[in-house]
Structures are given as C-alpha cells and as structure tokens.
Amino acid sequence: MDSIVVTGGGPLSGQIPIAGAKNACLTLMPATLLSDAPLTLTNAPRLSDIRTMTTLLQSLGAEVQGLQDSQVLAMSSHSLTSTRAEYDIVRKMRASILVLGPLLARYGHAEVSLPGGCAIGARPVDLHLRALEALGAELDLREGYVHAKAPTGGLRGGVIEFPFVSVGATENALMAATLAKGTTVIKRAAREPEIVDLAQCLRKMGAQIEGEGTDTITIQGVDRLGGATHRVVTDRIELGTYMLAPAICGGEVECLGGTIALVSSFCEKLDAAGISVEETASGLKVARKNGRVGAVDVTTEPFPGFPTDLQAQMMALLCTAEGTSVLEEKIFENRFMHAPELMRMGARIEVHGGTATVTGVDKLKGAPVMATDLRASVSLILAGLAAEGETTVSRVYHLDRGYEHVVRKLSAVGAKIERVKDA
C-alpha cells in the first residue's frame, strides 16, 4: 500500500490541467447500455473508479476500449451477455447502481447488487427504486440484489417527484426514461453540471429531453437510441481542489479548463476568505489577495450551492484562517472523518453532529495521518502543503478513485510531494 509524503513550505506557481469529471464519466459510461450503437467519450479521466465501471460493463458483455495513456473511451453494447451486475464488482463503488435504469429500459429486466463505496453515510438507493417504480417497474430486494422487471411492453412514462434532490437517482431516472413509452416528468431533479452533461450526451444519441439544469426535466421516450461521441465536462471537484492549493500555501496557479460557472458558489466563499479568482482564456487563475486567509462559514447544498465534495478541502484551508469558521454538512452524515486527522496536525476543530467549528491557528505541523475517504485524502495533502515539516498520508488508495496524477500535477507547480511504497 502506498503513502504520499508532503513537505510544507513555499508558494506555488504555474499551471495545473484539470481532468474530465469522474462523476460525469461514471454516469455517461452506463449510457452505452441503452443502445447497440457505439458511444465514444473523450476527455475521460484515468482513475480507478473508471476502471471499476469498465470492469462492470465488460462483465455484462459490453466492449470497452481505451484509457491506457489515452483520454478516449470507446464503448459498444451491441451484444450483451448478461443483465446481472455482480456483488464482487458493484460493492467497490456506489455509482455501479447506475447500470440498473439502462438495463431495465432496454432489456426489460435486470439484477443489480446493492452498492458500496466511501464510508460517508448511508446513501440509500431507495430514491432510485422509487423512480423506476414510477415508470412501472416491479422490484424485489432479496439476497442483496435488486431484481427489477419492466411491465409487458416496456417501461411507461410517468411523473417522478423526489422528496429531496438526489444526483444519482436523477441520473438513473433520466436514462431509464429515454426508452420509456410516453412522457416522463422528473420533479425536484438534481441540477448539477454532471446531469446537464448526461442529458446533452443522451440527446446526441437521439433522446428527447428538455429542462436539464432546472429542477424539472421532461423526457419524451423514443423507440431506440443511436451512437454518439461526447466530451466529458471538466471535473468541478478537481478544479475546486486545485484552486485551494495556492489559497492554502500562497503563490498563483492557473487551473486549465476551469470556468467560474462550474464552481460559482465555491468562488463566492473564496472571495469572502480573501482569495482572488480570475477567469482567463485558458481557465481560472487563483491567488491570495493579501496576507492571511479570513474565516468564512460554509453550508453544503445541492448544486448550485456549495458542493459537499469540496467541504473537506475547504476545512483544510480554514484550519489556518484568521478567526472561527463554521462548516455545516447537509448532504451526507458522517462526513467529518478527516477532522481528527487534521487535529493531529494541530488544527482546532470541534464537531457536533453535522456541524464543525474551526478556529484558525497560525501554523499546522506535519504528522502521520490516514485518509478515510476520497475527498478526505486530498484535504490532508492540501493541509500538508501548508504545514511545517513532513506530513505522511497513508491509505491513499482512496485518492486514486478520484484524482489522476496528484503528485505530478502538484510537483509541476512547486509542491514538495512524492508517492512512496509502504515498508
């Protein structure tokens, strides 16, 4: 198992290319199951989660090629051999549940294991199932699998009204509805850029969709979908993460491919904290305005609010801010597991349920710390950039699920960081 060693000190300078969005790509890949024609994705990130989804699709009989040194994924589901997504693959990643809607819509039946993923709360799949039931599906949960069957003649259009916003459930419902008979209306739909990206790809494949990016999406079902080539949208979470690097340790970094529209609420908090964000022809240029960062309060919310996937990284910044900040987590429970690790580095943090109070200190100090999930792992690396001495982050296999070439990208702008094999 590998660790990442960070030696703090010194400003950063240069450019960091931002990859295609992991969460978008993991949603776009199952869309190949909706058609027997080829689907090609460009700007695909090279991550372990993408490899896991590749393995899952291949286990169903789909052809998936690419992603060695390429950013292109060529997929085809012209001759699937199975509609059963096995536990041994699905348990590794929650996004695996996204094969359920496409399989059910195209083949009329599917068996999908209940998923796994990061340990950041329950994240149940009941909203996914409720959406499919609204389209006429018969569902049975037994022996850890969702057994789904469409009515005779296939799924039927219907009204899906979520009790609260769910990105994954919106994605599953959107894909399933493209082949359902009649019109489907999704109310209280997620508005994330990844949803918009999926809708745009499905439309290229021949789907009839209106309203993506709003809280009501309307889909007119079609008999079949075709092929398409689609560029994966920029990863707004990787973008926000690297924007925090110069904010934490000084300097100026340009994040290539970024736009303010992807991270507008995040940029508002950076501005309030004393961080300058300037849109350039190539991306976003980030630097401290002057002196020490100021404290700000943060509440995570569905898009366009502050992203839950940037909460841990923002906490790392606020550990050395002037004053006291309050972070309220409203999306996932149990998502402050990075706080005790930051406290090992000298941070002053108090956690009470879904609220963390952070009182800034002058300096963090390097220490051995352990990653508990994907976003927590990178927050500890960011904290290490600002800490005195050496920080060793263990269990970085979490990191490989969502960030490609972290060491290379940060080293290129002057960070002292290396990946080492544990003894």
Active site residues: 118
| CB-neighbour burial class of residue 196 (10 A; exposed 0-12, middle 13-18, buried 19+) | middle
- Residue 331, annotated as binding a ligand: yes
Phi/psi for 138 (5° steps) reads -100, 125
3-class DSSP assignment, residue 297: coil
Query: Which is it for the CA torsion 212, 154, 232, 166, positive or negative?
Result: positive
Is 130 annotated in a binding site? The answer is no
Q: Please name which of 29, 27, 65, 21 lies closest in space to residue 47, comparing C-alpha atoms.
A: 21
What is the rounded distance in angstroms from the CA atom of residue 166 to the CA atom of residue 154? 25
**Burial readout 153-163 (b: 16 or more C-beta within 10 A, e: otherwise):** ebbbbbebebe
Is 94 one of the annotated binding-site residues?
Answer: yes
Q: Going by C-beta distance under 8 Å and a sequence separation of 6 or more, which residues neighbour residue 270?
A: 243, 247, 277, 286
22 annotated ligand-binding residue: yes
- Annotated ligand binding at 126? The verdict is yes
DSSP codes, 210-225: E-TTSSEEEEE--S--
Place of tokens 């549940």: 97
Q: What six digits make up the tokens of 58?
A: 């291949």
What 8-state DSSP symbol labels residue 300? B
Q: Under 8 Å CB-to-CB from 374, ≥6 apart: which residues?
A: 118, 398, 399, 401, 402
Q: Are strands 228-231 and 39-42 parallel, antiparallel or unpaired?
A: parallel
R_g over Cα of the chain? 22
Render 67-106 in DSSP notation, one character per residue: -SS-S-EEEE-TT----EE-HHHHTT-GGGGGGHHHHHHH
Cβ atoms within 10 Å of 59's Cβ, excluding its own: 17
Q: Is 386 helix (H, G, I), strand (E, B) or coil?
A: helix
* Residue found under tokens 């960062």: 293
Q: Is the peptide bond before 368 cis (omega within 30 degrees of 0)?
A: no
Q: Classify 409 as helix, strand or coil.
A: helix
The verdict on whether residue 125 carries a ligand-binding annotation is yes
Is 23 annotated to bind a ligand? Reply is yes
Cα dihedral: 169, 171, 177, 178 (round 10): -170
Binding residue ranges for UDP-N-acetyl-alpha-D-glucosamine: 94, 123-127, 309, 331
